[in-house]
Structure 1
Amino acid sequence: MHTSSIQQNILAELDHELAQTRKTLERVPFDQADYKPHPKSMSLWQLATHVVNLLAFNTLFVQLDSRDFLDPNAPKPGPTPTSHDELLARFDEYSATLRQALHGSDDEKLTHNFKLHRGEHTIMEMPKGAAVRIMGLNHSIHHRGQLTVYLRLLDIPVPGLYGPSADEK
């Protein structure tokens, strides 16, 4: 009987989802960066940047044991990308860093807890592997889904992510 590891499962899922996310980001029009479908919504560019920056955050789950939002010295993503090329370059860089961190980890390390907190207030504490899946991948997929709605509302063809989209039939 063949069993696969937590690490192998996360890497397989990550590779699939990163390819789908890049396809989506490739269609985000920088010339409509300020577009918001609703006053409470993030702008198109804020949302696209957030999807990319979540990759760096996900890397923290693998490499560190905790992250305090009040720590002024804690790692933070770079400034907002100022072009479509810069957004995709950051996506590629953060994707490679996350893959490298996961390849450098193992099942045993991924069972260690990660704590996300703001000072004494714990926001989340769970095994690193679960944090990568829930707060990393699932969170990113959620926001990618929002991006596809923005694309639809802007009449930009939506890529097929789990099969053909209405635009690809």
Structure 2
Amino acid sequence: MSIKDGFLVEIERETNNTRRIIDRLKDEDLSYKPHEKSMSLGELIGHVVELHNWVGAALIKNDFNLQTDYQPLKPTSVAELRKALDEGYRTNEEVISNFPEDEWFKKWTMRYGDHVISEMHKLAVLRFVIHNHLIHHRGQATVYLRLLDIPVPGLYGPSADERQ
């Protein structure tokens, strides 16, 4: 199995997990904030979706400047979240399918303006900057669901809501 074949499986499964959360939401849930310092649920799950979509947007570059290359997703509806996730998945699948094996080991730089935030191989970018980051925020979103009394889907096995 090649690196890209492994990531294609992971991208499909993680996208499906995010879709399972989005499918439980209603438009009115997007404005929920558990605390004044917290992001709204719409901002949070929007960030999760945009992180998924960094596979096709950020990974193809060698230098990713948050100041100029990053446009936050600000969803106004659940339908918009679904559409962005689905369109992004198709792009991600195409990018990874055509990603040359040696490209995984090229250096990638994340910066804000002239300030370098991080430098790593693209292999690490997909794992650390994209997937681990989105999984972290998706976990936060499941807490929001619990606080809203929305049944939490099992993402890596049955949830307490699915076992009842």
- Using structure 2 for the length normalisation, give the TM-score: 0.92
2:149 alignment counterpart: 155
Shift of 1:82: 2.2
Select the structure that is richer in helix: 2
1:112 aligned onto 2:91: no
d(CA) in 2 for partners of 1:94, 1:30: 21
Contact 1:62–1:110 (CA under 8 A) maintained in structure 2:
no
**Aligned residue among 120, 125, 134 for 1:140:** 134
Give the C-alpha shift of residue 55 in structure 1: 2.1
**What is the CA distance between 1:75 and its match in structure 2?**
5.5
- Given that 1:6 and 1:107 are in contact with CA atoms closer than 8 Å, whether structure 2 keeps it comes out as yes
For the residues of structure 2 that align with 1:129 and 1:29, how far apart are their CA atoms? 35
Match of 1:165 in 2: 159
Among candidates 36, 42, 64, match of residue 67 of structure 1: 64
Q: Percent identity?
A: 42
Provide structure 1 residue ranges, at least 5 long, that are not aligned to the other structure.
none
Residue aligning to 1:38 = 35
Q: CA RMSD in A?
A: 1.5
Aligned residues: 163
163 and 100 in structure 1: CA distance in 2 versus 1, 3 angstrom threshold: same
Matched, 1:87 2:81: yes
Q: TM-score normalized by structure 1? A: 0.89
1:22 matched to which residue of 2? Answer: 19
8 Å contact kept, 1:22–1:88: yes
Question: What residue ranges of structure 2 are gaps of 5+ in the alignment?
Answer: none
Single out whichever of 53-62 and 124-133 deviates more from structure 2. 53-62
Distance of aligned partners of 1:61 and 1:127 in 2 relative to their CA distance in 1, 3 Å threshold: farther
Answer whether contact 1:62 1:105 (CA < 8 A) is retained. Answer: no
